[in-house]
Amino acid sequence: MKMKNFALATTALVGVLMTAGAAFAQSTGSQANEVENVVITAAGARAVGGQIVETLPKSRASVDAEFLATQSSGQNVFQSLNLLPGVSFTNNDPYGSSGGNLRLRGFDGNRVSVTFDGVPLNDTGNYAIYPNQMLDPELISRASVNLGTTDVDSPTASATGGTINYVTRKPANEFGGVATASIGENNYRRAFLVLDSGAFGPWGTKAFIAGSYQKYDKWKGPGSLEKKQFNARILQDIGDRGDFVSLAVNYNENRNNNIRSLTLADFRNFGKNYDFDAVCKPAAVGGVVVPGNCSNYYGRQVNPSNTGSVRGSALFHLTDNVRLTVDPSFQYVLADGGSQLGTISEGDGRVRGTAGVAKDLNGDGDTLDTVAFFAPSVTNTRRYSVTSSLIWDINDQHRIRVAYTGDYGRHRQTGEYTTLDAQGNTTNVFGGKDGHGAKVLTSDGSFLRARDRFSIAQLNQAAAEYRGKFMDSRLTVNLGVRAPFFKRELNQFCYTQNASSLAGVVSGFSVTCTTQVPNAAAADGSVTFGTSATKFIKPWSATVKYDKVLPNAGASYDLGSAGSVYVSYAEGFSSPRTDNLYTATLVNGVGTPADTRPETTKTYDIGYRYSNPKFMATAALWKTDYANRIVQSYDPDLGISIDRNVGDVKAYGLDTQAAWALEEYLTVSASFSYNKSEIQQNLINGAAAGNVIPLKGKQIVETPKYTFGGRVDWDVTDALHLGVQGKFTGDRFSTDVNDEVAPHYTVWDLELRYNLPFAKSTYAQLNVNNLFDETYFGSISSRTNALPIAGVTGTGAPTYYIGSPRTVQFTLRTEF
């Protein structure tokens, strides 16, 4: 029993060490290309210093299944990555279903490619990642982070900051299963079950099926969070050379009430528990109270999502030294991007439409009212992807790999109105979306909508890589190139409003969706409605293209005596997201996407690693040069993410990590990161002279300069295991001009596990998150400035999700 506990602790410890070329990279091609570069012995004592043969010259950090099992049951995988160097994740609730904010060496999550068995998970439109939709942690065999670089076949047009990938575990060889049941504070309850078929049939086919259900109350304010997930995988090994075919499916459903984020003034005036109202308190429009007009009501603040995927993977030896890998996939997404309240007069032009008459929308017999509706920003995506590699082992020292990635996403963004019930709740969380809620019809039979556009995102990417070993295999050289060709087809079905008020220039993000016939077009091609002087761009379509050749190179050298060094260089780019491109201008009378430039990066790493059976350590110095650095933040009032281009940025830092087995029963690990960034120039705000935003020399928002993480694992007895981990996060600026700061904080977590003396691998586990009940600002929605700047229009106060208080969870797990 003692050695079993030791294996758990030390394997978890090894799992959080930074490696180069850890197995289970992104796609089947990356796994096949790298699997021989990592050898981790299975036994516990040897797992501390297990032999890690590192030849890929890049910084990578990983956690494994044993480490994930020490965390809270059902926790999202990004929170479990938070102890790794270079990673800073802020969770919006203690159990992980409210989402959170990821930073990787200062890049926000939208600039990090996240993949699931090699399948891209970043939104096709805005590149966002959604932590609450990730795979159940019990089914993840390993999660890895590439710091500052991508793999050669990374299926992305947005990754300038690195990649995160996690891999589904394989079906077991024997029949059996795992069941867990958890309870906790905030009325938390969760159940998880996985059943393995074991090998069956004439070819030894293996499969598993799994499901989970989770529900709990918000840690503050009214409302709850509910999650259902289903997974299955079937695997067929072919021959004795590692060939296989596999098919996996995933379905995830979230029904969450939002947690309110606070400004600094909110926090000072109302405290951390300030949240949405428990009942609808209607507000007035034009001096008249409108029933249901209560945007601060928790029942209106919903965040639903239905997501699913079908993922194939295959590996075939075409000859003894040539392998082919193919990973096809399909993804489906239906989700709200913001839960907005829509109020509209019964005589509004959008209601009158082509009929030109008002309509009684609330059924009171007149057309004199303003009526409230639910108008969520709904995104519906169907995405088809394939990643394939051809790997040629020329001999034991030289290998060539070529890869292709195709990614095609149909991205429909709508905002159909639907009705409210008597209490002010929406009658359908997806509004009037086809097949869901009832639409609100206008006088001419069309329907009210706040957004209506359709986009296609298409990526075709070619890549090639050479790997060579020299000097008796002590020197490994990697040379690669990735060439993404990205295209967006844009279709705006609404009128884009003039937000600038500049004569002859029409620009802005606001839209009005109507069938009303506009006035005759002006000389510049813009149109107006009725007696209003506000200019609009007519509905428009366009296609934009971006491409870039991205080289990468590196070398690692085995110094002997358990030490090695490596250097690497990689270029990255991120094409503009959909929302930016729909901010149109009028060119020759036609709506034209804004001239938005891609973000590009050049990243340099130099690192050292050391490992022996008792001690392992890593250190990496890095430098990144940005052009057109994009900063993104979420506006909870608008329900959209907002981008800001802060120009060129130079950043550098240090990532370190170490693990030490002091005794057979005691292990310690720690990580430290330093991140320094500096914006290179001021920005001009508007056309007027002197309207300068003083950004030069400022630090990038939301990025702590210092982070420190550590964990201790102690086998107190043969049956009792104690784990304690902590993470210090330094001060983070919440504005581009650095005039408001989120103070540093430290959060400690505790895990206590007791192995029960019956059944197979059965234990009880206690997890305490935020052990010392620290109050802190977690996720930040940053802004340009918080304090007034002469000549510069303010952008509003930054908002913060307050870190959740101490929370206790209890789990029973059994294997059979």
Q: Residue 92: which residues within 8 A CB-CB, separation 6 or more?
A: 98, 99, 100, 259, 778, 779, 801, 804
Question: What is the per-residue pLDDT for 581?
Answer: 85
d(CA 760, CA 740): 53
For residue 85, pLDDT over 50 is answered with yes
Per-residue pLDDT averaged across 397-424, rounded?
A: 94
Helix (H) or strand (E) holding 67: helix 65-70
What phi, psi does 589 have (nearest 5°)? 80, 5
d(CA 263, CA 276): 14
Judge whether 534 lies within some domain. no
Residue 766 in tokens: 């206690």
Residue 309 in tokens: 């995927």
Report H helices in 289-436: 349-352
Place of tokens 């004199």: 368
Place of tokens 């709506």: 591
Question: Which range (3-7, 59-63, 177-181, 377-381) has the least confidence?
Answer: 3-7
- Residue 547 pLDDT class (50, 70, 90 cuts): very high
For residue 35, pLDDT over 90 is answered with no
Question: What is the per-residue pLDDT for 61?
Answer: 75
Per-residue pLDDT averaged across 641-668, rounded?
A: 86
Whats the size of the chain, residue-wise? 816
Question: What is the per-residue pLDDT for 686?
Answer: 56
For residue 355, pLDDT over 60 is answered with yes
By DSSP bridging, strand 377-393 and strand 540-547 are: unpaired
Are the C-beta atoms of residues 463 and 153 closer than 8 Å to each other?
A: yes
For residue 194, pLDDT over 70 is answered with yes
Exposure of 559 in the CB half-sphere (CA atoms within 13 A): 11
Question: What is the per-residue pLDDT for 22?
Answer: 32
Are the C-beta atoms of residues 140 and 81 closer than 8 Å to each other?
A: no
pLDDT tens for residues 661-704?
999 899 999 999 999 999 898 877 654 455 788 889 999 899 99
What phi, psi does 236 have (nearest 5°)? -125, 110
Question: What is the per-residue pLDDT for 118?
Answer: 82
- Residue 576 is classified by DSSP as P
d(CA 108, CA 626): 14
pLDDT tens for residues 112-161?
888 888 888 888 888 888 888 999 999 999 888 888 777 777 777 777 77
Question: What is the per-residue pLDDT for 647?
Answer: 78
Number of folded domains that form the chain: 1
Judge whether 106 lies within some domain. yes
Judge whether 505 lies within some domain. no
d(CA 674, CA 730): 10
Q: Count Cβ atoms below 10 Å from residue 39 Cβ, excluding itself.
A: 11
d(CA 389, CA 402): 6
Question: What is the per-residue pLDDT for 497?
Answer: 76
For residue 507, pLDDT over 50 is answered with no
The contacts found for 103-106 with CB under 8 angstroms, 24 or more apart, are 103/702, 103/703, 104/145, 104/147, 104/161, 104/162, 104/164, 105/147, 105/148, 105/161, 105/162, 105/622, 105/624, 105/651, 105/653, 105/655, 105/675, 106/161, 106/624, 106/651, 106/675, 106/677, 106/700, 106/703
For residue 752, pLDDT over 90 is answered with yes
Helix (H) or strand (E) holding 190: strand 188-196
Residue type, 2: K
For residue 380, pLDDT over 80 is answered with yes
Per-residue pLDDT averaged across 42-49, rounded?
A: 29
pLDDT tens for residues 712-721?
999 999 999 9
What phi, psi does 568 have (nearest 5°)? -150, 155
pLDDT-above-90 percentage for the chain: 63
Question: What is the per-residue pLDDT for 57?
Answer: 62
d(CA 172, CA 233): 11
Reference 249, options 142, 172, 331; nearest CA is 331
Is pLDDT larger for residue 630 or for residue 472? 472
C-alpha separations of 776 from 274, 731, 739, 748, 767 in Å = 14, 11, 18, 13, 20
What phi, psi does 784 have (nearest 5°)? -70, -50
For residue 8, pLDDT over 50 is answered with no
Is pLDDT larger for residue 347 or for residue 795? 347
By DSSP bridging, strand 107-108 and strand 100-104 are: antiparallel
- Residue 426 pLDDT class (50, 70, 90 cuts): very high
For residue 342, pLDDT over 90 is answered with no
Question: Which CATH number is 307's domain given?
Answer: 2.40.170.20
Question: What is the per-residue pLDDT for 3?
Answer: 38
For residue 636, pLDDT over 60 is answered with no
For residue 660, pLDDT over 80 is answered with yes
Question: What is the per-residue pLDDT for 9?
Answer: 38
For residue 29, pLDDT over 70 is answered with no
pLDDT tens for residues 562-582?
899 999 999 988 888 888 888
pLDDT tens for residues 246-285?
999 999 999 999 999 999 999 999 999 999 999 999 999 8
Judge whether 338 lies within some domain. yes
Judge whether 471 lies within some domain. yes
pLDDT tens for residues 218-257?
999 999 999 999 999 999 999 999 999 999 999 999 999 9
Question: What is the per-residue pLDDT for 706?
Answer: 96
pLDDT tens for residues 288-324?
999 999 989 999 899 899 999 999 999 999 999 999 9
Per-residue pLDDT averaged across 336-354, rounded?
A: 87
Are the C-beta atoms of residues 190 and 182 closer than 8 Å to each other?
A: yes
Question: What is the per-residue pLDDT for 358?
Answer: 96
Residue type, 170: K
- Residue 185 pLDDT class (50, 70, 90 cuts): very high
d(CA 487, CA 579): 15
d(CA 60, CA 608): 12
Place of tokens 């350590």: 617
d(CA 139, CA 69): 10
Residue type, 53: V
- Residue 549 is classified by DSSP as -
Judge whether 515 lies within some domain. no
Per-residue pLDDT averaged across 647-663, rounded?
A: 91
Per-residue pLDDT averaged across 633-650, rounded?
A: 63
Q: Give 477-534 as a 3 state SS string.
A: EEEEEEEEEEEEEEEECCEEECCCCCCCCCEECCEECCCCCCCCCCCCCCECCCCCCC
C-alpha separations of 80 from 11, 15, 143, 653 in Å = 15, 11, 9, 22
Question: What is the per-residue pLDDT for 559?
Answer: 93
d(CA 62, CA 83): 10
Q: Residue 535: which residues within 8 A CB-CB, separation 6 or more?
A: 497, 498, 506, 522, 526, 527, 528
pLDDT tens for residues 725-749?
999 999 999 998 999 999 999 999 9
Per-residue pLDDT averaged across 596-602, rounded?
A: 85
Residue 128, classed as helix, strand or coil, is coil
For residue 477, pLDDT over 70 is answered with yes
Q: Residue 700: which residues within 8 A CB-CB, separation 6 or more?
A: 106, 629, 631, 646, 649, 651, 677, 679, 733
Burial class of residue 284, CB neighbours in 10 A (0-12, 13-18, 19+)? exposed
Per-residue pLDDT averaged across 540-554, rounded?
A: 93
C-alpha separations of 445 from 344, 358, 415, 726, 746 in Å = 16, 12, 17, 59, 57
Judge whether 133 lies within some domain. yes
d(CA 755, CA 594): 60
By DSSP bridging, strand 60-64 and strand 140-147 are: antiparallel
Question: What is the per-residue pLDDT for 378?
Answer: 93
Reference 653, options 611, 685, 699, 615; nearest CA is 699
- Indicate the average pLDDT of the chain: 86
Reference 452, options 410, 498, 491, 508; nearest CA is 491
Beta bridge partners, 305, equal 254, 335
Judge whether 776 lies within some domain. yes
Residues spanned by the domain of 137: 2-494+539-815
- Residue 577 is classified by DSSP as P
Are the C-beta atoms of residues 481 and 489 closer than 8 Å to each other?
A: no
Q: Count Cβ atoms below 10 Å from residue 390 Cβ, excluding itself.
A: 16
